[in-house]
Amino acid sequence: MKAAPVLSPVVKADAAWSAAADRIARYLRAHRLGNARQVSRLTADIIAIARTRVRPGAEPMALAMETLDAGMVAWFAQVLPAGEAGHAPLLTRGRVALVMGEVPARWPGHFMSGQTVPAELSGFMREADPGRAPEIKFTNMAPRLIAEAAPPGSRLRWQWSYRWPFLRIVSGLMMVVSLWGAAMSAGGR
């Protein structure tokens, strides 16, 4: 009889850090970072920083995601100055601007890097403002009847169903009976 292998805490911790690295890589790819080398570099950097922040009772996955969020906030603060943050939180506005400005496609090497941000990149991210909504204007438009709003071909169906109330009642009863029969046959199985 073979003894089951006992996993040491180091092996369990390495598995947890590997899972955290995998989650970070998927998260970065979800932000449309297509360059595999950049994703692996950022993932390794984030995991290395997160390993230095280990505290008792904290899961590696949570530490890695906190580190990633902190890094993204710092980068967004560099690209989107605090005075221009608007009403949305910086992390939310930055993520939306990242996608709307197509940053990963246009400037793949600049996302979360220590390099200075080009003015064009900063301009694209500033223009992508999720806080702008269309202005609401009230009108005095009178509501129309449903039959008037329906397309011309469907108008005949509305008029036909209201001219022949007996047929409408019979078709409704047939629907109820068929649904009841289906429920009874399904319940008998």
pLDDT digits (tens, 9 = 90+) for 90-105: 777 777 777 777 777 7
Beta-carbon contacts of 106 under 8 Å, excluding residues fewer than 6 positions away, are: 121, 124
Contact between 147 and 155 under an 8 Å Cβ cutoff? The reply is: yes
Decide if pLDDT at 5 tops 50. no
Distances (CA, A) of 4 to 9, 11, 172: 16, 15, 66
The encoded tokens of residue 166 equal: 């007996």
Distance CA(111)–CA(75), nearest Å, equals 8
Which of 4, 9, 39, 3 minimizes the C-alpha distance to 21?
Answer: 39
pLDDT tens digits for 164-180?
Answer: 677 778 888 999 999 99
